[in-house]
Amino acid sequence: MRMLLPVVAMILLCTCQKTEEEYDLIVAGGAVLDGENHPAVNTDIGVRAGKIAKIGDLGSAVAKERIDARGLTVTPGFIDIHSHSDFSMLREPKGESMIRQGVTLQVLGEGPSAGPVRPDKRGLEVEGVKVDWTTLGGYFARLEKQGIATNIASYVGQGQIWTYVMGDTFRKATKDDLEKMKALIAEAMNEGAMGLSSALMLPPANIAHAPELGEMASAVAAGKGIYSSHIRDEGETVLDAVREAIDVGRRAKVPVDVIHLKIAHQKLWGRMNEVVAEIEKARKEGMTVTANVYPYTAGQNSLVSIVPPWAHEGGREKLLARLKNPVDRARMHKEVLSGLPDWYNHYLAVGGDWSRMLLVSLKSERFKKFQGKRMSELIAAEGKDPVETMFEVILEEKGQTPTVFFHHSEEDMRLAMKQPYTSIGSDGAAVNPEGPTGVPHHHPRYYGTFPRILGRYVREEKVLELPEAVYKMTALNADKLGIRDRGRLKEGMWADITLFNARMVLDQATFEKPKQFPIGIPYVIVNGKIVLDRGRHTGNLPGKIVHGNGKKP
């Protein structure tokens, strides 16, 4: 028996060692950037049960699958902190345009969010999806049941909450109204929301100001949520709008993230340093104030955003009725050209230049041939007054006319991008050019945001260093949201991993031809499963819901 004991011990030791060295997947020999702005290290990554089990020399280890990453840069999967895939992921669960950019987590819910849903709105169709849930948690359950390629997180939208309680009226909220809103926000936080997000450029959401917004945002503090804001004005009063976002965070005692920081008005180009100074002042005072940015000098809204705010009261049908009323229409015409106090007018922001408006989606028989064309081309073909022509387009399209506006400068955008607290978000959505989500002529950011950063602004223009850019796309976004188990390549973290060729990665999508996938990203891994394999989507749907810190069992 004494002679057998050493033999048994040796067998057990060998068995244990073999078990420890067996992995589901090994990513071997890549230049690993951990996401924390450190230099790359050539090493291997072993994945087991969806998580990173080992980082180190795994040359002799056994694995079910192995990726030869020699010549490639290996990073955490990119986190898109500003995505509009709320409904497109239900139509396009493979998340083609996001996966092919290296995105493994999308954060949804700017302004409007997928929940909560008023009971009378349940059953309606939104963006081709029948809404069969009433809460944000119900929406999460729908995604999980269906299956998704990327991970998903969401804010609860201030506009969603506001209209849930107030409808489409333009009246001020009472104390009782605000208490109802706070209760709904708290419920969404319990269901896993990341915080409260606002889009304050259009009514009725913009009826709320700092006192009401601060009261609403206070409901996310207990769950360690943040306040993320598409600020009220990105044009002539952009400094006041940034100050307001900071004031909301100060009132609510929560961190603030300014959505796609920019100066979107030709008259103010070159003054980004003043915006940066406002944020730095708040940070020096001890506040947590950050921002995100996308790498393009054009944004997307709707053509209807050029219509003055008062005309939107009561919703889309009321707006269309006012456009048919000669008295209301004459007033709108005048105000489009002259502007109004405290209103961000997209027409004036582009210097009154109709050629700086690109029509994304048109469905009417009369105008659909102009999809992907400039508004100036449509106006020239009609041969009528430009503003009146715009009103006709809005009427024919029933108030739904997504439009790209070329309204900010490269210099301002670069300065915003370089700030140490500024991360990357696309402001796009997951689409597939071959399916129903690929029909519109989308902004190229839907297909190219993250590889554009790596290719143009790192390799070609050297605006950012590679480790810094990766940090802005991974760990910085995770830290903003309080996500502790993603956004970095460390043992014990979920295995969300993107592999790219740093010498060739580049976006291909343009404003003229946006439906083009990037090059130079051959592999994307989500929760330990290969979703992009040598540039081919595997069809795997391993995505999970990533809940905020306020999630209750």
Q: What is the mean pLDDT of each run of 10 residues along the chain (553 residues)?
A: 51 49 95 98 98 97 98 99 98 97 98 95 94 98 98 98 95 97 98 98 92 98 98 94 98 98 95 98 98 96 94 93 97 95 90 95 95 96 97 95 94 98 98 92 96 98 98 98 98 99 98 96 99 98 98 93
77-299+407-486 to CATH, choices 3.50.50.60, 3.40.50.720, 3.20.20.150, 3.20.20.140: 3.20.20.140
Report yes or no: 254 and 247 within 8 Å, Cβ to Cβ: no
What whole-number distance in Å separates Cα of residue 342 and Cα of residue 345? 9
Tell me what pLDDT residue 20 has. Answer: 57
Tell me what pLDDT residue 266 has. Answer: 92
Tell me what pLDDT residue 4 has. Answer: 52
Dig out the tokens for 514 from the structure: 């946006």
The radius of gyration of the chain from alpha carbons, rounded to an integer in Å, stands at 25
- What's the pTM? 0.93
- Any idea which residue has 């396009």 for tokens? 92
CA proximity to 105, closest of 116, 95, 115: 95
Tell me what pLDDT residue 18 has. Answer: 46
Domain ranges of the chain: 77-299+407-486, 301-404
* φ, ψ dihedrals at 429, nearest 5°: -155, 160
Tell me what pLDDT residue 459 has. Answer: 98
Tell me what pLDDT residue 6 has. Answer: 52
* φ, ψ dihedrals at 388, nearest 5°: -65, -35
**CA distances from residue 129 to 78, 85, 126 in whole angstroms, order as listed:** 27, 12, 5
